[in-house]
Amino acid sequence: MRHMISRTSLGAGAALVVAAMLCLVHGQDTAGTTQPADPQTIAQGKYLVYAGDCVACHTAVGGAPFAGGTVINTPFGKLLGPNITPDVATGIGGWTDDQFVRAVKYGIGHRDHYLYPGLPYIYFNKVPRADILKIRAYLATLPPVNNRIHADQLPFPFSIRLGMFGWDLLFFPKTGDYQPDPNQSAEWNRGAYLVQGLGHCAACHTPKNLLGGDRTHQELQGAVVNGWNAPPLVNDQHTGLAAWSADDIETYLKTGHNAFADSSGDMADVVTHSTSHLTDADDKAIAVYLKSLPGSGVAPLAPIAATDPAMIAGGHIYADECAACHTGAGTGLPLIFPALAVSPIVQAETPATLLQIVLHGGRSVATTTAPTASAMPAFGGQLTDQEIADVSTYLRNSWGNAAPAVSAEQVAKVR
């Protein structure tokens, strides 16, 4: 996805760095550029581009498809998604197949420089070479666009690409192609491949350490990305997918909506540009895999008492401003107004997404399978920080929900 990271420590000394550089030079690929592919391979490559959500980082708003320029915000600075059209001067038209595979699968650019994991190569490492070349075959059919992108906008010292040598040593395990689990079904393995590899779900849904590496012991247990919640994809009560069935997950991936949630923020883009284009079988496989994941083991919180002053104040605000659409019981109207009861986003450890939507409003995803999208009005102009904090606390602790209270300071920060 869209938010990773760089690191500058080498730690192994100049000799090790020089040795690594020599290995890269002597290991340079020399295969010729890709040959025109057959229509079936191109169609498969297009599908894999959808599965990998490549448009998210390589198509700027108002820009030509895959010509780059998308801003990728990271905790260390800004990157720009590169041009991956077949333009020879500014895209990938002059790359060899081997160079393209090395970039996607190993994070090494065509000039043997280290790439930043804004390109999620640590997950794409699980994608077989054959699938990567199908992606290249499709990209080769696009109109070439001359659009030179200076992808690295990071400040010093993160702009020193050689620092990624040390980062990769620490956080890039190079596990190689996804290996099916013989004890699981073909459907489960397909879902695991999509989640762990092409779908790179962990890029947003796994928390990161101070250096931007995955906290692998908390895989898919949720994080905050660009000011929005990427909720746990494990089967936790309240904050995760425990209350969702596989059908609920499949519906969400296909339409952006289900009885529990409405996609928003970066996830709305994922549904629009990726999961809504997948086959029903693949969305179902993802759902089957996710439902097999155990919970994190963190005990759910007890709800804040209804007699708490914030709950009382928030209840009045909810009755006046929210109940007409979301109902007095927080059940919403399926596929039109999302439920607030039993909602992982509402009950997230940090209320980032909830506050974004209450303050700034939002519009639900419209896809070919669910073309009508509802709109959420913005309340930032009519409610104070304290009022938004109170109503958010009420939402997070009513109808069986349980989550920490929200403060006016948290609202002000998001505002």
- Which single residue is written with the structure tokens 């009861």? 341
3-state secondary structure the chain: CCCCCCCCCCCCCHHHHHHHHHHHHHCCCCCCCCCCCCHHHHHHHHHHHHHCCCHHHHECCCCCCCCECCEEEECCEEEECCCCCCCCCCCCCCCCHHHHHHHHHHCECCCCCECCCCCCHHHHCCCCHHHHHHHHHHHCCCCCCCCCCCCEECCCCCCCCCHHHHHHHHHCCCCCCCCCCCCCCHHHHHHHHHHHHHCCCHHHHCCECCCCCECHHHCCCCEEECCEEECCCCCCCCCCCCCCCHHHHHHHHHHCECCCCECCHHHHHHHHHCHHHCCHHHHHHHHHHHHCCCCCCCCCCCCCCCCCHHHHHHHHHHHHHCHHHHCCCCCCECCCECCCCCCCCCCCCCCHHHHHHHHHCEECCCCCCCCCCCEECCCCCCCCHHHHHHHHHHHCCCCCCCCCCCCHHHHHHHC
β-bridge partners, 168: none
**What whole-number distance in Å separates Cα of residue 127 and Cα of residue 209?**
25
What the block records as the tokens of 46 is 């297009």
Q: What domains, with CATH codes, occur in the chain?
A: 14-171 (no CATH), 186-291 (1.10.760), 309-414 (1.10.760.10)
- Contact present, 252 and 361 (Cβ < 8 Å): no
The radius of gyration of the chain from alpha carbons, rounded to an integer in Å, stands at 23
pLDDT of residue 1: 36
Which one has a higher pLDDT value, 178 or 22? 178
Beta-sheet pairing, 375-376 with 362-363: antiparallel
pLDDT of residue 159: 77
What the block records as the tokens of 286 is 């993802």
**Listed residue (340, 375, 380) closest to 360, CA to CA:** 380
Which one has a higher pLDDT value, 112 or 259? 112
- The reported pTM is 0.84
Which one has a higher pLDDT value, 18 or 291? 291
Which of 246-255, 327-336, 341-350 is least confident?
Answer: 327-336
Answer yes or no: is pLDDT of 375 > 80: no
pLDDT of residue 114: 92
Maximal C-alpha separation, the chain: 72
pLDDT of residue 189: 98
Mean pLDDT of 96-110: 95
**What whole-number distance in Å separates Cα of residue 373 and Cα of residue 335?**
9
pLDDT of residue 28: 36
Sequence-distant (6+) residues with CB within 8 A of 289 are 188, 191, 192, 194, 195
Answer yes or no: is pLDDT of 179 > 80: yes
Chain segment 3-53, per-residue pLDDT in tens: 333 333 333 333 323 233 333 333 333 344 446 679 999 999 999 999 999
Q: Is 225 left (phi over 0), alpha (psi -120 to 50) or beta?
A: beta
Answer yes or no: is pLDDT of 311 > 50: yes
pLDDT category at 138 given cuts 50, 70, 90 is very high
Handedness of CA 232, 233, 234, 239 (dihedral sign): positive
Which one has a higher pLDDT value, 65 or 261? 65
pLDDT of residue 363: 62
**What whole-number distance in Å separates Cα of residue 334 and Cα of residue 374?**
11
pLDDT category at 389 given cuts 50, 70, 90 is very high
Length of the chain: 415
Which of 29-38, 218-227, 278-287 is least confident?
Answer: 29-38
Report residue 153: phi and psi, to 5°. -110, 15
Mean pLDDT of the chain: 86
Give the Cα-Cα-Cα angle 98, 100, 106 (nearest 5 degrees): 90
Which one has a higher pLDDT value, 48 or 161? 48
pLDDT of residue 368: 56
Chain segment 39-91, per-residue pLDDT in tens: 999 999 999 999 999 998 999 988 999 998 888 888 888 888 899 999 999 99
Tell how far CA 129 is from the center of its chain.
23
- Contact present, 356 and 413 (Cβ < 8 Å): no
Mean pLDDT of 268-285: 94
